[in-house]
Amino acid sequence: MEGKKIAVLKFPGTTCELDVVKALREAGGNPQVVRHDRFDPDEFDSVVLPGGFSYGDYLTAGAIASSSEAMRGVKEMSDEGKVVLGICNGFQILVWSGLLEGALLENINRRFVSKWVFVKVIDDGTPLTKGLKGRVLRLPIAHAEGRYYHERLERVKPILIYSSERGDVSEEYNPNGSVMNIASVSNEAGNVIGMMPHPERASFSNISPFGNPDGLLILRGIVK
Amino acid sequence: MIYEIEMIITTKENVRDPEGESIKMYAVDKVDGSVSEVRAGKYLLFRIDAESETEAMEKVKMIADKARLYNPIIHQVKVRSIGR
């Protein structure tokens, strides 16, 4: 198969790996599911940490996976400038492992939130958002611990923020209490991206309830 | 007087604790192999108005029982005072 080789990393309890693989194929990439204990970072151009409940969310979501051997490999890839994308639980793993700054706390309403939201692209300095600045995307979220927090906001690089369909940003459109309505952040270099929304669930127009595969716009950036 | 009373809720020794076992196996053991067991639980801190430390602890135990903050079938509860 042509296209960039993308590792879709599976920990015990990861649930979204096949959806991510299908969406990345749709986007033109060459993804494959890799078990966390059989992961060789040198074999891949980039890596995606899919959503789910790694290690049963024990201790707290993402905590146990963050200290795994596989995450050392992910860090190597990040240091080499390869694209690292963490979706939902993958984002939680990235913040726990220190590849991204900040923390993801329990949603402010103390509920598991599962709904379609609008997010505005405010930074196109990452491979995933290149050329998308200002675009409003419709994507689903499904999480209990998605409230992004950082005590030093000057160190945060927001990529996607929760907004209205028109791109208005206010507390009204914030589904979980994230600081600054943050849905996604990247590292300083822009090659490590974490996001709470699930682009893979919005990558096929025939199964998206709104018919728009906005998730593909994001995922195409990882296969270019 | 306001007392600070801690409550630690864990599963009973004879009940398996998969969360504690996972934390030990996948995180703790990588750092230090001398840990024989890890048990996971919940920690609650009560700031409570009472006449004495003893009364504060008794009140907290009573609240935990009445509000069913734990399940006596599977949980054990430790209550301790950390002062005023």
Class level of CATH domain A5-223:
alpha beta
Calpha distance A217→B28 (Å, rounded):
40
Q: A89-114: per-residue pLDDT in tens? A: 999 999 999 999 999 999 999 899 99
Residues of chain A with pLDDT under 70: 1-2
Enumerate the H helices of chain B as residue ranges: 18-23, 29-31, 53-66
pLDDT at B30 over 80: yes
- Asked if B40 is an interface residue toward chain A (Cβ–Cβ < 8 A), one would say yes
- pLDDT for A1 equals 53
| CB atoms A58 and B19 under 8 Å | yes
- Asked if B19 is an interface residue toward chain A (Cβ–Cβ < 8 A), one would say yes
Calpha distance B19→B9 (Å, rounded):
14
Residues 6+ apart with CB under 8 A from A104: A61, A62, A91, A92, A95, A145, A146, A147, A148, A149, A196
Residues of A contacting chain B (CB within 8 angstroms):
55-56, 58-59, 63-64, 67-68
| CB atoms A67 and B23 under 8 Å | no
* Confidence (pTM): 0.90
For the residues B49-71, what does the mean pLDDT come to? 94
Other beta carbons less than 10 A from residue B62's beta carbon = 10
Paired residues of A58 in beta bridges: none
Active site residues of A: 88, 198, 200
Calpha distance A59→A61 (Å, rounded):
7
| CA atoms lying within 13 Å on the CB side of residue B72 | 6
pLDDT at B49 over 70: yes
Angstroms from B45 CA to nearest CA on chain A: 19
| CB atoms B22 and A63 under 8 Å | no
- Is-contact A165 A118, C-beta < 8 A? yes
The residue of A53, A64, A68 whose CB has the most chain B CBs within 10 angstroms, and thus the best one to mutate to test that interface, is: A64
Paired residues of A195 in beta bridges: A87, A184
Calpha distance B26→A53 (Å, rounded):
15
Calpha distance A103→B36 (Å, rounded):
30
- E strands, A11-87, are 30-35, 46-49, 83-87
Delimit the domains of chain A by residue range. Answer: 5-223
Q: Locate the chain A residue with the closest alpha carbon to B40.
A: A59
